[in-house]
Amino acid sequence: METKKNIDLNCDLGESYGKHTSLYDAEIMPYLSSCNIACGFHSGDPLTIERTIKMALEQGVAIGAHPAFPDLQGFGRRRMLMPAEELTAVVRYQVAALKGMVEALGGQLHHVKLHGALYNLAAKDETTAQACLTAIKSIDEKLKVYGLSGSVMGDIATKSGLSFVHEVFADRAYEADASLRSRQLEGAVLVDEKQVLQQVKMMVQQGQVMSHNGQTLAIQADTLCLHSDTPGSARLAQLIRNWSHSVF
The tens digit of pLDDT for each residue in 68-92 reads: 999 999 999 999 999 999 999 999 9
The beta-strand segments (E) located in 151-247 are 163-169, 208-210, 216-218, 223-225
Mean pLDDT, rounded, for 106-133: 98
CA distance 131 to 88: 5
154 domain residue, yes or no: yes
CA distance 66 to 123: 15
- DSSP label at 204? I
Mean pLDDT, rounded, for 201-227: 95
216 domain residue, yes or no: no
* Cα of 44 vs its chain's centroid, Å: 15
Confidence of residue 4 (pLDDT cuts 50, 70, 90): very low
What's the domain count of the chain? 1
Mean pLDDT, rounded, for 20-39: 90
Q: With 60 as the cut, is the pLDDT of residue 242 above it? A: yes
- DSSP label at 17? B
185 domain residue, yes or no: no
CA distance 129 to 120: 10
36 domain residue, yes or no: yes
186 domain residue, yes or no: no
CA distance 69 to 75: 9
* Nearest by Cα to 107 from 45, 139, 64, 145: 64
Query: What percent helix, strand, coil does the chain show, rounded to 5?
Result: 40, 20, 40
**Confidence at residue 65, expressed as pLDDT on a 0 to 100 scale:** 98
**Which range, 14-28, 74-88, 233-247, is most confident?**
74-88
CATH of the domain at 59: 3.20.20.370
Q: With 70 as the cut, is the pLDDT of residue 1 above it? A: no
Confidence of residue 17 (pLDDT cuts 50, 70, 90): confident
- How many Cα atoms within 13 Å fall on the side-chain side of residue 242? 7
145 domain residue, yes or no: yes
Confidence of residue 19 (pLDDT cuts 50, 70, 90): low
246 domain residue, yes or no: no
Q: Are strands 208-210 and 216-218 parallel, antiparallel or unpaired?
A: antiparallel
98 domain residue, yes or no: yes
The boundaries of the domain holding residue 77 are 8-169+221-229
**Confidence at residue 244, expressed as pLDDT on a 0 to 100 scale:** 87
